[in-house]
Chains A and B, each alone.
Chain A
Amino acid sequence: MGQALLEVKNLKKYFPVTGGFFKKTVGYIKATDDVSFKIKEGETLGLVGESGCGKSTTGRAILRLHEPTSGEIYYKGKDVINASKNEMKELRREMQIVFQDPYSSLNPRMTVGQIISEPIVQHGFMKKGKELEDRVCQLLEKCGLARYHINRYPHQFSGGQRQRIGIARALTLNPSFIVADEPVSALDVSIQSQVLNLMMDLQEELGLSYLFISHDLSVVRHISNRVGVMYLGSLVELSSKKELFQDPKHPYTRALLSAIPVANPKTKKKQIILKGDIPSNVNPPSGCKFHTRCPYAEDICKEQVPEFRKLGDEHFVACHLAK
């Protein structure tokens, strides 16, 4: 694993909440609030957290599908946030996304061939013709689909196959970084593993880096090298997969991990049950956002925002008490 491919610094994305007759902005939903991380070449960073904690928003803000409110994003040293329209078009060849919903992520009026060939033609890589058709077929076959699927429409495929089309589309421009936004959570468990294995094979073959967003810890454990845990728009813990699963430092991470079901019904496991609900991300709690539900909370947690501290090798935690 080499250089940092992608660097995200203090990324924030606030959605305005409007109210009243004149649509005055009455507040902001802090979907992604001060998130920083790096992704190295050929690496998979898993991003986990509850629904609504800002995982997807973070992924999409990196690709500027949601225009970030503030922060810095560098891809191979190039500034993504301030890139002009043309620079962004170049950058889009490098950074792609696979979506969660295999049904709404493919245009129902276009054949698979059109869906996959369109970006190649639009970016001027190839003209229409035999060569292009071969390239499309090659991509389809790489993603476990067949040549004859080229003239079919998305509704003629199953969920897993559609997800493969989505992956093939993401690969059309030869990217080196892919945001995978819960790519398997809409699929059957048996299909999930097929798609995951496909993604891992592609990673090996093409040297891809993934930002893998999921709420399923076992999936993240399977595919990631490093894992980040998000709570209410912020990263609370970031470390290598091994360390995170064996020695979680943040109380929230511990609670999450204790919720993973174990296949053996006889094992007795101590589950950490968190009290209360996730607070609103319009008015997040002061200090450490987690203090309202944290079993170990002390006075300092209510007052001071914890720093994202380095604890040991490549292990970061945002907690006053973690050692």
Chain B
Amino acid sequence: MKSEAIKKADAQKKNEEQEVVGLWEMVWANFKKNKLAVFGLIAISILILLVILAPIITPYERDAVDLLNAEQPPSMSHWLGTDELGRDYFTRILYGGRISLKVGLFSVGVSLVLGILFGGVSGFYGGWIDNILMRIAEIIYSFPFLPLAITLSAILGTKVSTENKMYMVMVIIGVLRFPGLARMIRGQILTLREQEFMQAATALGLSDSRKIFRHLIPNTFAYIIVNATLGVAGAIMSESALSFLGLGVVPPIPTWGNMVTYATRSYVLKNMPWLWIPPGFCIFIAVMSINLMGDGLRDAVDPKSNR
């Protein structure tokens, strides 16, 4: 009898302990339940690891030309064959992945900074500041993405050296994608700023910037992270599209996008599939796994979608 009572008390204690898990523990617990999302996380982690360890994995250099071994099909020495200049294609895929993933991450970084600034400030102050900032965001929002991105990179592209094209693409994608994020953050802040803890912050005489960035923005982190994750996938796609069209990062710097360009030559398309299938496959894997992960995160963060 007595031991049963103790057991019961213990079980209750355990329950209480479980109740006090923080938000991120809860998100992680929900996330783990979603098998596809975990698969996405593992796949993208492997990809990132491969790309980071590129110098260790392959013995070749990225731009090492070897004309005697040009256009070789896959073999033991060149796992994915070589291109028309005899460069090892596997090596270029790995280094291209570096650029593609980097552009994806950093352009989301750019839109995060802009989105947090615009969304935070306009949500907090409201009134005419809100009106001006949101109209600016909406103007950008209302243009179709690809035509605008193509025009911008065509105009700016002539002034930027090949080496720096990567940064140009980051900024273009980041700036064109921030309005969605800004609107979401603003919406969250509009509801949060009416909470009593914000009145307490006012009563304590805290500065406006502290109220926005220390009290309001951290409360939107869950949504920001979901949005940013899905944004990385979108940004990788956009970079690939721009580079495929020759308006993004251009050779000799490889990215998955400009490597797929080989498929536009019908001779390569028919006879040398190792030049366009692998980069296409990499884009597919990266975007799909990030999207799966992002969907899982969104379900995990949203308490209403408890399945």
Q: Which A residues are closer than 8 A to B by beta carbons?
A: 60, 63, 65, 88-89, 92-93, 95-97, 99-101, 104-110, 118-119, 122-123, 153, 155-156, 166, 169, 172-173
Contacts and interface: CB of A to CB of B under 8 A. Distances in A.
B15 to A, nearest CB: 14
Contact of A97 (B23, B199, B207, B219): B199
B196 A92 contact: no
A92 B205 contact: yes
B131 to A, nearest CB: 13
A155 B219 contact: no
B22 to A, nearest CB: 6
B205 A89 contact: yes
A101 B196 contact: yes
A93 B215 CA distance: 20
Given A97-B199, A104-B197, A156-B20, A122 B204 contact: yes
A153 B195 CA distance: 17
A108 B216 CA distance: 10
A155 B196 contact: no
B204 A60 contact: no
A174 to B, nearest CB: 12
A122 B210 contact: yes
B213 to A, nearest CB: 12
Interface residues of B, number: 21
Interface in B1-57: 20, 22-23
Given A108-B219, A109-B218, A153-B22, A97 B200 contact: yes
Contacts of B219: 107-109
Give the dominant DSSP class at B's interface. Answer: helix
Interface of B: 20, 22-23, 195-197, 199-207, 210, 214-215, 218-219, 221
Contact of B196 (A96, A104, A173): A104
Contacts of A97: 199-200, 203
A298 to B, nearest CB: 43
A173 B20 contact: no
Given A101-B196, A169-B204, 8 more contacts: A60-B199, A65-B203, A88-B205, A92-B205, A95-B203, A107-B197, A122-B205, A173-B204
Nearest to A122: B206
A172 B199 contact: no
B199 to A, nearest CB: 5
A95 B203 CA distance: 8
A96 B204 CA distance: 7
Contacts of A118: 204, 206, 214
Give the residue among A107, A153, A156, A172 with the most B Cβ atoms within 10 A: A107
A215 to B, nearest CB: 18
A96 B197 CA distance: 13
A179 to B, nearest CB: 8
Nearest to B221: A109
Given A109-B218, A156-B20, A122 B207 contact: yes
A19 B189 CA distance: 24
Contacts of B210: 122
18 contacts: A63-B203, A65-B199, A89-B205, A92-B203, A96-B204, A97-B199, A104-B196, A104-B197, A105-B197, A105-B200, A108-B219, A109-B218, A110-B218, A118-B206, A118-B214, A166-B200, A172-B204, A173-B204
Contacts of A99: 196, 199-200
Contacts of B203: 63, 65, 92, 95-97
A122 B218 CA distance: 18
A104 B207 contact: no
A104 B196 CA distance: 6
A65 B202 contact: yes
B89 to A, nearest CB: 47
